[in-house]
Structures are given as structure tokens and as C-alpha cells.
Amino acid sequence: MILNLEKLMKYDLIEDLESKMQEEKEAKMLFDFLGIYQQIHSIDQFIRDYPSQPGSTDKIRRSEFVSSIGATLAIEGTKLTKEEIEISFQKADLHKDLERKEQETQNTKRAYDYIIDLVVKNRKDKFIYKEKYIKQIHKHLTDNIEYGLNAPGQYRDVNPIYGEPPRRSLCTTKRKVELAMSEFTDWLNKDGAGLLSSNSIARAVMAHYYLAEIHPFGDGNGRTARALEALVLFANGINTYCFWSLANFWSANRNEYIVYLGNIRSTCNPWDYIMWGLNGYLKEVQRIKGLVLKKAKQLMLMDYVRWLLSTKKHQKQEKKINERIEGILELLTDGGEMPLAKFLSYPQIKTLYHKRSEPTRYRDFEKMKNIKLIRFFEKDNTKYIGPNYQLLEYLEFRV
């Protein structure tokens, strides 16, 4: 069955899928869905339970926020590094003139900030989706940039060609767009009754699909659809540790992303798209968990270093390590593994050993190696240095 406007405006593709599963007794499909979702829930709970501290895990949040901005723009062909995105934020804060790609970056930040504020202000009550919220997200995303016939925050008067392969929206007029968007927000606010239709992640990726299919604006529809997906997730408490959509996953798998979206129009079956998105979300939370655990290991290793610094082998004897070693480990845990020559060239290292002899530095590094605080290894014929987190696995603390 090929999707038409009448079918689109029913917004019942998930419900049709659930009915089909019941008729064909496709229990395995539901078990697969539940299995992945339970993994996501478990990991997400772990991430949320881990305390966030200024100067430590807040860096993960910031990095993921910046990464999501870069990813959603990359899908549209605007590619920036994290450093370029941060620079554009700084320029905007100083009210400097922005290049087009910098303006797009700043616009995306404004849209995401708007979503966060919107949900936080309505945290005590059930979140009610409104067309004006979607329009405002689009306005933030496309303000101060010339996109042909696009009007920021306003529904289109034309029906442009979009997508791969090229196609036009089933909503051929502005009036049809208005009707479709009214029905769409009604669907967003309606509680699903089935396993899939009540699932927040499934609803988020379908909200993304439906908005992209309606294509209500002259431009910026993809970014608005991904931002709406993030809003649905955030409003349902799914991505509260780090605000993000699936933009990183969509961007990393752009070709498949386009194919999955296009296939729904020709089949009216969103199962493959939902499961692909669910697996993508699992990969995202697994990646975030890895970053959180890495930060935990960094903090634990530095706690051990400070314990060594405060402990004496025997009364009136020197400490096991010195303040220079503590400084070296702080640099290493922050910077991670790197070529030894590069690490030794750091100004901080040179400062630590200013007026110190070469043998002193050698003894410090040998001591760190012997008590397994650091490790050396070869890669591409280059000697590397890095913190030894494996030490934490076999430490025994004696009281």
C-alpha cells in the first residue's frame, strides 16, 4: 500500500502495525522490540543515577549538545568541527557577524535551548504539544538566513521538491498543510494504547517521520523534524542526562536514514524504521554510558593518586609520590593517551621540571610506571603514554 494524504492524516501507521502483529501472531517481533527497549531503559537509568558534577560530567553534556548540533547540520550538508561550533557560539555571544554556517549553528543552539526551557517550565504537568511550538522551533532554526521561499515559523505557500529520491509532499497546498498539522498535534497529544503506540521512543521517531512527510515549511523541515524528535524524547524523560536527538546516529548512517524514511511512503509499514531507530538509540546510550564510566575512572584514579600523596610508607619517611606526579596524572587523565614526545613538550610539564634535573624527571616517570599509575606502549612506531585505568581493577584497600 502506498501512502496517500487521507492515510497520512489518520496517523495510525503504528496502530496498523500492532494490529497486523496480533493477526499474524508475530510475538517474536514484539519480543525483539521489548528486549532492545529494556536494554535502553537499564542503561539510561544507570546514566541518570550517576551524579553530574561541575567541571567533570557537565563536560560530557556540553560535548553531546555540541555534537548533536553538528550532526543535524551535517545531514543537510553543513559540516563543522566541534571547535568551529564552539567558536561560532563565542562569536554570537560577542555579537560579532556570523558566516552562514555559523548562523545555522547558532540557530540550532537557540532551537535546542528553546526546547529545553519549554519542557522544564512544564515539567510538573503532562506536556501538551502545540503547533506554535513547532513553528517557533522552525523559526529559531531558519531565522536570519535566506532559504529561497522559506518564511521562518510560517507554513509554506508552495510545494517544493525535496528528498532522495526527489518527491513532493502529499500536502500540496497551505490549507492541506494546516489541516495535516492540526491532526498531527492531536496525534502527538493522544496516549497510545498498544505496546508500540505507547512507547516514547517509537512515538519520537514516528513524530520525526510524520513531520518530514508533511513537510510543512519552505525549508528546514529535516532539522525541525529531528528537533521535534528530541522534544518528544526530552518531554518523556528519555534523554534528560544529555539533551540530544538521534541526530548523531542519523548523520553517521545518512544513506540508510534516507532510505528508511522513503520506504514508509511506499509500504505504509514503519517497523524497519522504528527498529532501526531503536537500535540507533541503544548505540547512543551505550556510547554515553562509556563516556560516563570513563569519567568515573578518571575521578577514581585521581582519588587514588591523592591517597598515595597523603600516605607515607613509614613515619618520618617521604611520601609514596610527590606533587609533581599528581600534576602529571591530572594532565594525563584530562588529555588521555598521546605520543610521549608531545606530552613532554607541554608547557605544564616544562613548568613542573623547571630548575629540575633530567634524572629527577626520569625518576618520577619510573616511579609512576613501577606503581602502575601510567603505561607506555608503541603504536605506529611511536612511543605513547597514558593513564593506567586497569590499575583500578586489582587495587586492594586495607583499613
Q: What band does 314 get if pLDDT is binned at 50, 70 and 90?
A: very low
The top-level CATH class assigned to 311-394 is mainly alpha
Question: Contact, 85 vs 105, CB < 8 A?
Answer: yes
Say which residue, 320 or 168, is predicted with more confidence: 168
Kindly report which listed range (13-27, 95-109, 175-189, 275-289) carries the lowest average pLDDT score.
Answer: 13-27
141-180 pLDDT tens trace: 999 999 988 999 999 999 989 887 888 999 999 999 999 9
The domain ranges of the chain are 5-292, 311-394
> CATH assignment of 5-292, given 1.10.3720.10, 1.10.3290.10, 3.40.50.12780, 3.20.20.60?
1.10.3290.10
251-276 pLDDT tens trace: 999 999 989 988 999 999 999 999 99
Distance, in Å, from the CA atom of 42 to the CA atom of 282, rounded to the nearest integer, reads 10
Vertex 348 angle, CA 347 and 351, to 5°: 85
Residues 243-254, mean pLDDT to the nearest whole number: 86
For the residues of 2-27, what is the DSSP string, one character each?
A: ---HHHHTT--HHHHHHHHHHHTT-H
- pLDDT for 399 equals 45
- pLDDT for 315 equals 44
Q: What band does 312 get if pLDDT is binned at 50, 70 and 90?
A: low
pLDDT above 90: percentage of residues in the chain = 72
375-398 pLDDT tens trace: 999 999 999 999 999 999 887 665
- pLDDT for 317 equals 46
- pLDDT for 316 equals 47
Q: What is the C-alpha radius of gyration for the chain, rounded to an integer number of angstroms?
A: 26
- pLDDT for 51 equals 76
- pLDDT for 206 equals 97
